[in-house]
Chains A and B, each alone.
Chain A
Amino acid sequence: MRPLIEVHGLRKDYRRGGDMLHAVDGIDLALMPGESVGVIGESGAGKSTLARCITRLERPTSGRVFFQGVDVTDLSDRALRRFRREVQPVFQDPLTVLNPRWTVRRLIAEPLKIHGERNAERQVDEVCRDVGLASELMTRRPRDLSGGERQRVAIARAIALRPSVLVLDEPTASVDRPARRALLALLKRLQSEYGLTCLYISHDIRTIAETCGRTIVMYRGRLAEEGPTTAILNSPRHVYTQILISSIPRIDGAGAQPGRLKAGPASGQHLPDTGCLFAHRCPRALPECAAGPPVVEVAPGHRAVCVLAEPAGNHNGVTPS
């Protein structure tokens, strides 16, 4: 089976003041059909930039993005029309992404109209039913809806053309807590009903844990660890992942502590950019970390980019229970 989406050596740089920021710094990724993959990382990890590069809302600085084997990295917006039918983003804050003057119906019908679908009205009604949007909301504008309803509108718009891939960037961030469970359950149901392949981006491991079978951990634009979500949660091998997982507040009290981050430099400027980027905050950093950490296959399908990670069978330290 061929991957639906393949990313090789993706890099995206931005100029910030006088410096060059490597938002995404060499990421490889493969999404198999029907999969649900999560990307976690904290601020500065580059997850949203990765999402925008994969959906080609931005052009990567270097590296390749393939969809169904076709190289879409350098295509113009016009050449990407077919791609856009198949790969749809769902953004973090639907309020800013939906034209405030348009009604819900018009917003959901737009992709259908752009791609010349004939029965737009009927398809809009169908997708609204699937997404759980009441018909009286169709004539309202986005600001008159609740956060959860707005996100449903955004989702309806994204799936109206029956895409193959959804890239969701913090889909529950703008939704209040009581509505989050329902929204995630909706996404899981839609994934199976519409046969979607999903890429979830989140800073909250709990969202990823509920929806994704495989998880990628990013740190400052690079891969830290990748593997089955249960493995990431229960036996993380990269020191950063261990700290990340153990930092999540637990309702049954704090678990074992693999150490805490070392204090960062007072002014954020002089961050190292060779070798392991995490080393300067890592409580267990070793001299060899400066040379560049190896990619270690700790188990089938589970790899960690850390000097301390050891192949299957060895536990390299404290793991949270």
Chain B
Amino acid sequence: MPGLQIDGLRIAIGDRDVVRAVDLAVEPGSCRGLVGESGSGKSLTALASLGLLPRAARITAGRILLGGDETVTPDRDRTGGVRGSGIAMIFQSPRAALNPVLRVGHQVERVLRRKDQHGDPRKRCVELLGAVGLGEPDKAARLYPHELSGGMCQRVMIAMGIASEPQVLIADEPVTALDVTVQADILDLLDDIRSRTGMGMLLISHDLSVVAERCESISVMWQGAIVEAGPNRTVINSPRHPFTAELVRDLANPPNVTDRPPQPLPARPADHPPAEAGG
């Protein structure tokens, strides 16, 4: 089925494997969550899907398909053409992703022009900004990023992301830097866009509760490998891998009175093959 499909992806930096044999799929219209700590390799996996790996990293094995077409392979891992052609990404720090010297409307229009959209880019830009929940979008379009709040900047980034009408949107920690009330708004917005356009979404976060609330299926990444994957309820209610279990425990229960450190985790992910829980 089309959508985003990652098969056996391996990424290395220098001679170290930082992403090992990752399998991941995002069906159209669905939301898959990817949970892991910083350094677990989730962002690199996302960047690889857009051909945006940093220079020091390279794909050593596996492939990525979008809509059934092979877009990324070890030989072709840095194609600018992949971006904007069916897949888009939004990042944690919206202010850092926006150009501080250009008005936000201009930045959205640039994406629209690059995609050769029919219709007037300016009008479409205002429509988009309204669709992502900015009040008075025509006025907002004329503002610079520093004049907007964090939540508003994130909405602009979402507008830029969906401007190219992608099949799949990757959201890498989209709400981590935002207040919790704004978080909920933004996640609602993403859900809304998904249901209206049939776009698939990969929601990446270190916070299991964010992912658990919004995603139908969850993959857990630890030290470069997927250690657990499955439907939301199954992963949350009966986690197989100790890391997943620890994440779930952190959220569900208050801590014990003693402050003993948590159970040590196995040294290498190879000790615990990915626990495929159901479909």
**What is the bound-complex CA distance between A165 and B259, given in angstroms?**
22
Interface residues of A in 143-183 (CB under 8 A from B): 176-183
- Whether the Cβ atoms of B213 and A253 lie closer than 8 Å is yes
Q: Which residues of B contact A179 (CB under 8 A)?
A: 261
Q: A43 near B213 (CB under 8 angstroms)?
A: no
CB within 8 A of A264: which of B135, B246, B248, B257?
B135
B183: contacting residue among A43, A209, A247, A250, CB under 8 A: A247
B143 touches A266 (CB 8 A): yes
In the bound complex, CA of A204 to CA of B207 (Å): 13
Instruction: Give the residue among A178, A266, A268 with the most B Cβ atoms within 10 A.
Output: A266
The reply to whether A249 and B262 form a contact with Cβ atoms under 8 Å apart is no
Smallest CB gap from A182: residue in B: B259
A52 sits at the interface (CB 8 A): no
Q: With the chains together, A204 CA to B86 CA distance in Å?
A: 36
Inter-chain contacts of A253 with B (CB < 8 A): 212-213
A-contact 0/1 string along B181-193, CB 8 Å cutoff: 1111101100000
CA distance A209 to B251 in the complex (A): 12
**A263–B135 touching, CB < 8 Å:** yes
Cβ–Cβ contact B37 & A188, under 8 A: no
Interface presence of B31 (CB below 8 A): no
Instruction: Point out the residues of chain B lying under 8 angstroms from A186, CB to CB.
Output: 259
Contact (A181, B185) CB under 8 Å given A251-B213, A266-B148: no
Contacts of B182 in A (CB 8 A): 42, 261
> Contact check: which of A188, A247, A254, A265 meets B135 at CB < 8 Å?
A265
A260 pairs with B188, CB closer than 8 A: yes
Known contacts: A244-B180, A247-B181, A247-B183. The answer to whether A189 contacts B257 by CB under 8 A is: yes
Q: How many residues of A contact B (CB 8 A)?
A: 41
A184 to B255, CA, bound (A): 8
- Which residue of chain B has its CB nearest to the CB of A253? B213
Q: Are A251 and B208 in contact (CB under 8 A)?
A: yes
Give the chain B neighbours of A126 by CB distance below 8 A: none
* Docked pose: A258 CA to B255 CA in angstroms: 30
The CA-CA distance from A2 to B183 in the complex, in Å, is 40
A243 at the binding interface (Cβ < 8 Å): yes
> What is the minimal beta-carbon distance from A64 to any residue of chain B, in angstroms?
30
Query: Is there a chain A Cβ closer than 8 Å to B116's Cβ?
Result: no
Q: What 1/0 flags go to B217-237 for Cβ under 8 Å of A? A: 000000000000000000010
Identity of the chain B residue whose Cβ is nearest the Cβ of A265 in the assembled complex: B135
| Given known A249-B209, A249-B213, contact A42–B180 (CB-CB < 8 A) | yes
Question: Is the CB of B119 closer than 8 A to any CB of chain A?
Answer: no
- Binary contact readout A244-282 vs B (1 if CB under 8 angstroms, 0 otherwise): 101111111110000011111111100000000000000
Q: Are the C-beta atoms of A266 and B140 separated by less than 8 Å?
A: yes
- Considering the chains assembled together, what is the distance between the CA atoms of A261 and B135 in angstroms? 12
Q: How far is the CA of A251 from the CA of B147 in the complex (A)?
A: 34
When the two chains form their complex, are residues A178 and B181 in contact, meaning their CB atoms are under 8 A apart?
no
Nearest CB on B from A121, distance (A): 25
Q: Nearest CB to that of A269 among chain B residues?
A: B147
Asked whether, in the complex, the Cβ of A185 is within 8 Å of the Cβ of B149, the reply is no
Assuming the contacts A178-B262, A188-B257, A267-B147, asked whether A244 and B181 have C-beta atoms less than 8 A apart, the reply is yes
CB pair A268 B209 closer than 8 Å: no
Q: Is B206 within 8 A of A182, CB to CB?
A: no
A210 near B: Cβ within 8 Å? yes
Whether A185 and B255, one on each chain, are in contact in the complex, defined by CB atoms closer than 8 angstroms, is yes
Q: Which residue of B lies closest to A42 (CB)?
A: B179
| Chain A residues with CB under 8 A of B259 | 132, 181-183, 185-186, 189
A85 within 8 A of B: no
Given contacts A177-B206, A181-B262, A244-B180, contact A263 B134 (CB under 8 A): yes
- Asked whether A251 lies within 8 Å of B260 as measured between CB atoms, the reply is no
Q: Is the CB of B251 within 8 A of A251?
A: yes
Task: Indicate whether A203 reaches chain B with its CB closer than 8 angstroms.
Answer: yes
- A266 partner residues in chain B, CB cutoff 8 A: 134-136, 139-140, 143, 147-148, 152
| Interchain CA distance A249-B236 in the complex, whole Å | 14
B56 beta carbon closer than 8 Å to chain A: no
B206 to chain A, nearest CB (A): 7
- CB contacts (< 8 Å) of B262 on chain A: these are 178, 181-182
Map CB proximity to A onto B127-155 as digits: 1 under 8 Å, 0 otherwise: 00000011110011001000111011000
Residues on the A chain within 8 Å of B185, using CB = 247, 260-261
Bound Cα distance A185, B260 (Å): 9
- Can you offer 28 A-B residue contacts whose CB atoms are under 8 A? A42-B180, A42-B181, A43-B179, A180-B250, A181-B259, A182-B260, A182-B262, A183-B259, A185-B256, A204-B180, A210-B254, A244-B180, A249-B209, A249-B210, A249-B213, A249-B214, A253-B213, A254-B213, A254-B214, A260-B185, A260-B188, A263-B133, A263-B134, A263-B135, A264-B135, A264-B152, A266-B136, A267-B148
Known contacts A188-B257, A250-B209, A250-B213; can you find 6 more A-B pairs with CB under 8 A? Answer: A132-B259, A248-B180, A249-B207, A251-B251, A266-B136, A266-B143
> Which residues does B use to contact A, with CB under 8 Å?
37, 133-136, 139-140, 143, 147-149, 151-152, 179-185, 187-188, 206-210, 212-214, 236, 246, 248, 250-252, 254-262
Q: Lowest 6 A-B CB distances belong to which pairs?
A: A247-B184, A263-B135, A42-B179, A185-B259, A249-B209, A181-B255
Name A residues whose Cβ lies closer than 8 Å to a Cβ of B: 42-43, 132, 176-186, 188-189, 203-205, 209-210, 243-244, 246-254, 260-268
